[in-house]
Amino acid sequence: MAIKKTLFMCILFIFITNVKVYAVDTNWKQELTHFLMNEALKGSTVGISVRSANTGEILFQYNGDKRLRPASNMKLITGAVAMARLGENYTFHTELLNDGKIRWNVLNGNLYVRGKGDPTLLPSDIRAMAKELKNQGVRFITGDLIGDDTWYDNQRYPIDLVWSDETKGYGAQTSALTVSSSKNYDAGTVKINIMPQNRLGNPAIITVSPNTEYVHIENYTKVVPESELNKLIIERIHGTNTITIKGAVPLHTNGFKKTIAVWEPTEMVLELFKKALKAEGIHLIGDVKIGKTPQEVTIISVHKSIPLSELFVPFMKLSNNGHAETLVKELGKTEKNDGSWEAGLEVILEQLATFQIDTDTLVIRDGSGISHVNLVPANQLTKLLYTIQEEKWFKSYLHSLPVAGINSDMIGGTLQNRLEGVEGKVIAKTGTISTVSTLAGYLETDKDERLIFAILLNNLTNNSDGKAIEDQIVKIISE
């Protein structure tokens, strides 16, 4: 018995030497230290950092300086730099221009749609631009309809995006000229809606939003009795916009929705614009193609996005990867006249240094955190969240983060169904990629003390276990 007790004390000593506790030990720190011996964490790598939001003092850390994959906690970094360099009132533009003259209801020349990174452009905005052209008296266009996406480079994916992600809604291509299907602003994607018919054995009814012929649906579904399980497989063939949908759709269900990234979003904008011109009674005589806007052009209309402070709500609440990657390229374009990931990531590192972040401890490969190569220590993440509290844009930044337990996409976001018991007291960014789960942000304790925390769980075998562990850690801290 004495041997077992000695062995246990040795193991506990080895474990505790990895934990640094600052100030006087309190019950929550002891409880958290004990909790980290959870069997579900066996074989994983854990990084935790807890700071005082008032003083910045580290109150607790476990592997706080170990570099770990942040997943979508990377958006906390990208977002802070974007706010600092672009400003909370920054807007993106989409321009409609021509290189000819309008006479007798005829535009003698080409029509250009020039994108400047706007992820908020909607089909309704495209129709409004076409209507503006009509209001200027145009009924015929002798030239071509040309889409210009040269504001950014032509690299569509961040360097580490895996092939299995490229058809998913969160893996959309980044283009300077793109369109969203809803005010969630999932640019470069379409939403597939699958509804059962009233007769068994028939294929399901499939609709696409936005209403476009740019994607081709191959429907191999079948309506089955409600007792049968639905097994739907939705795939887009690589390099095409052919989407195949196979499987069973139970009768009398509410249907199913799926967001799919398209191949070459610039071309989808042009397809929707051509359709909008036709709807306005404007006849395009030339072709539809991609090109560069010449210097000598006339502006017909400009669509401006919502300001960055408003865009940050769907960006952070819904963890939109496309917004993050667009912000990286926009930082590169505005700061270095180079709309590339390389230039944008340089700006991020430069700005982080002004936030007193040790950039030598970081590996940053994208803006969204989808890369498995990104590495960030938990202590650096909490240091960032502490430092930016004095920035004039911090209120907008904080407002954009998900709020625990609030049942609303645009308030609770990815935390709306989590952290029962501390609803409204935790404002934090979630993160999930395969084998990684993270959570970082701000919390109010039961003693009304405001803390900053970062929890990075890597090498998990079950991401759901990771979320449950994060929730329990936050509850221990808050109590």
Q: Which amino acid is at 151?
A: W
Tokens, residue 447: 């003693």
422 vs 373: CA distance, rounded Å: 33
In contact, 197 and 205? CB cutoff 8 Å? yes
- What does the alpha-carbon distance between residue 95 and residue 129 come to, in Å, rounded to a whole number? 9
Structure tokens at 391: 């920035």
Q: 341 in helix, strand or coil? A: helix
**Catalytic residue among 49, 319, 400, 478, which?**
319
CA-CA distances (angstroms) from residue 103 to 138, 273, 387?
8, 22, 58
Coil, helix or strand at residue 344: helix
CB-based contact 318:413 (threshold 8 Å): yes
Give backbone dihedrals phi and psi of 183, rounded to 5 degrees, phi first: -80, 10
Q: For residue 209, indicate whether it is catalytic.
A: no
H or E element, residue 454: strand 450-458
Q: Which of 397, 315, 324 is nearest to 365 (CA)?
A: 324
Asked if 434 is an active-site residue, the reply is: no
Task: Report d(CA 273, CA 130) in Å as an integer.
Answer: 7
Greatest Cα-to-Cα distance within the chain, rounded to the nearest angstrom: 101
Question: Among the options 29, 66, 75, 333, which is catalytic?
Answer: 75
Of 135, 152, 241, 252, nearest to 197 (Cα)? 252
Q: Which of 29, 44, 49, 72 is catalytic?
A: 72
Active site residue 304: no
Strands 436-444 and 426-433: antiparallel
Please list the active-site residues.
72, 75, 319
